[in-house]
Amino acid sequence: MKAAEVLRPGGRLAAFWHVFEPPPIVAENLAAVYRRLIPGFPPRESGPRKPALDGYRPLLARAAGGIREAGAFGESEEWRFGWQRFYTRDEWLDQMPTSGILTRLPPDALSEVLAEAGAAIDGIGGGFTMAYVTVVVTAARL
């Protein structure tokens, strides 16, 4: 692992992700938009909605496994930092095309998704507060 080559002993490797959890009304409205405009996305789940962090579990386990397999680090740790950010309609629409399935949509389909998502956000007052958890998988170089 390249990180082991460049870190001095005691130096810390930190891989991190920002996991967002929209308010239920936002999640429901956006899921309805996606289902209408992107066939098969998001997949329908049975039972109660799972926390967004659950979807990251396999990725976090792979990161910890990769650190362990490198053989140059101590035991990995998982750190979490919760925070929130208020988004206006336009701020949220600006960031939507930068991640996930929306990065792969053709421009006309993306425009339609953004228009409907904007209308859904307008329908709840034009903005919302997003809850985030920044998750860090970290270990010190031996």
Is residue 134 within 8 Å of 16, Cβ to Cβ? Answer: yes
Question: Which domain range does residue 33 map to?
Answer: 2-140
DSSP3 helix / strand / coil % (the chain, rounded to 5): 50, 25, 25
pLDDT at 46: 63
pLDDT at 140: 98
d(CA 126, CA 49): 24
Q: Which residues of the chain have pLDDT under 70?
A: 45-47
HSE of 54, CA atoms in CB hemisphere, 13 A: 4
Q: How many domains does the chain have?
A: 1
